Amino acid sequence: MQQESVNNLAEQKRKSVNTMEFTADGRYLRKVRSFVLRTGRLSEAQKRAMNENWHKFGLEHQAAHFDFPAIFGNNNPVVLEIGFGMGRSLVDMAKQNPHYNYLGIEVHTPGVGACIAYALEQQVTNLRVICHDAIEILKDNIPVESLAGLQLFFPDPWHKAKHHKRRIVQPTFIESIMPKLIHNGFIHMATDWQNYAEQMLEVLSQQPGLQNTSSTNDFIPRPDFRPLTKFEQRGHRLGHGVWDLYFIKK
């Protein structure tokens, strides 16, 4: 029975992320989330990567804070990335920076499977992944002053004005991140939606504990250490702009 549960882990994750929630009297509990639940079918390779290697790479939402030194087996700085997509750029960064530990959160289960598969291919060990709502992970599991940085690359733009409240970058989100960052910890964001870039800049600039590293006090050129994704390359070919923001906790 235990082995069967392990073999079905990937499929269980796919279903559990999309589980409906109800109040005590049976009414559907509708949460305003900052992401779309795209729980598509996993390929056989993605399933196999998750089922066979979750014990190496996967972390679960829990009632207590994570113990990062115990999880990673060292005291290296921890960088959190929210919404890593298919995970290629996250794995590439982890491989390029072995002196850092990387923690990625993604609710799209095929992306989690693809990330683990690529991490195995690249022999990356300084990476852990979570398939859960990032807001709950931040609240329940990330200790105070435990993160060297936060990465948020190309989050869902919710481009319609009436949906802007669903964007993850809001003052309350930044306020929840601030205590988790160490002194001089960074917040690095990137988007290809100018309107969202402007909102990000406004929200980050209004946080008194942050300092913009831009010489013009707005955006920075794409730094070499942020890998160019296929999504971003396609945008460049289509003439889309990309805006990077890099702030430091004072």
Tokens of 77: 């700085």
Residue 229 annotated as binding? Answer: yes
Number of H helices, E strands in the chain: 10, 8
Residue 224 annotated as binding? Answer: no
Residue 109 annotated as binding? Answer: no
Residue 21 annotated as binding? Answer: no
CB contact set of 208 (below 8 Å; sequence gap of 6+): none
Residue 231 annotated as binding? Answer: yes
Residue 230 annotated as binding? Answer: yes
Residue 160 annotated as binding? Answer: yes
Among residues 156, 218, 224, 244, which one is catalytic? Answer: 156
- Does residue 244 have an active-site annotation? no
| Distances 124 to 90, 97, 107, 118, 235 between C-alpha atoms, Å | 11, 10, 21, 9, 28
| Distances 238 to 21, 122, 167, 192, 219 between C-alpha atoms, Å | 40, 30, 24, 11, 21
Tokens of 129: 């992944």
Q: Where are the alpha helices (DSSP H) in the chain?
A: 2-7, 9-16, 44-57, 68-72, 88-96, 109-121, 134-140, 171-177, 194-205, 230-237
d(CA 206, CA 200): 10
Sheet of 127-130, strands arranged across = 58-59, 127-130, 101-105, 78-82, 147-153, 181-191, 243-249, 210-212
Residue 232 annotated as binding? Answer: yes
Binding site per annotation, positions for S-adenosyl-L-methionine? 81, 106, 133, 156
| Catalytic positions, written as ranges | 156
Annotated binding-site residue numbers for substrate = 160, 192, 229-232
Residues annotated in a binding site: 81, 106, 133, 156, 160, 192, 229-232
